[in-house]
């Protein structure tokens, strides 16, 4: 296993909710990453994040790891949930909140 895959796995295992994004939660550097940050903040869940713009290795590594071509990517309890469109659709339908609650993650607000 490459170092980048080990880093990705460590992040996913050590954070119940993990977001691989462009930028940081305080300063998202793309609109899609910003939308997922807004949703997670609205729900009041604690989450870890990794800025894929820091290294090409991480940016390409997360795409290969998940077999998903776009960023951001959200993981809940080690499971890949999806990118911005999927997260937004799940949130609007109330499915993201249910998914998190079923995984044992406290959600402060629902849509």
User: Do the Cβ atoms of 17 and 66 come closer than 8 Å?
Assistant: no
Domain ranges in the chain are: 3-102
* CA atoms of 47 and 41, how far apart (whole Å): 9
pLDDT tops 80 at residue 50: yes
Annotated binding site: which residue ranges? 30
Annotated binding site for [2Fe-2S] cluster: which residue ranges? 30
Categorize the per-residue pLDDT at 1 as very low, low, confident or very high, splitting at 50, 70 and 90: low
Reported as a single tens digit per residue, the pLDDT across 24-46 is 999 999 999 999 999 999 999 99
pLDDT tops 70 at residue 60: yes
User: Which listed CATH number (3.60.20.30, 3.40.30.10, 3.40.50.1100, 3.30.499.10) goes with 3-102?
Assistant: 3.40.30.10
pTM: 0.94
């Amino acid at each position: 296993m490459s170092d980048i895959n080990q880093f990705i796995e460590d992040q996913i295992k050590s954070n119940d909710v993990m977001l691989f994004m462009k930028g940081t939660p305080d300063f998202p550097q793309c609109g899609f990453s910003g939308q997922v940050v807004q949703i997670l903040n609205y729900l009041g869940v604690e989450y870890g994040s990794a800025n894929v713009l820091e290294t090409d290795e991480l940016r390409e590594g997360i795409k290969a790891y998940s077999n998903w071509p776009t960023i951001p990517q959200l993981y809940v309890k080690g499971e890949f949930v999806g990118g911005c469109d999927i997260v937004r659709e799940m949130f609007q339908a109330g499915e993201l909140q249910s998914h998190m609650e079923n995984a044992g993650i406290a959600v402060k607000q629902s849509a």
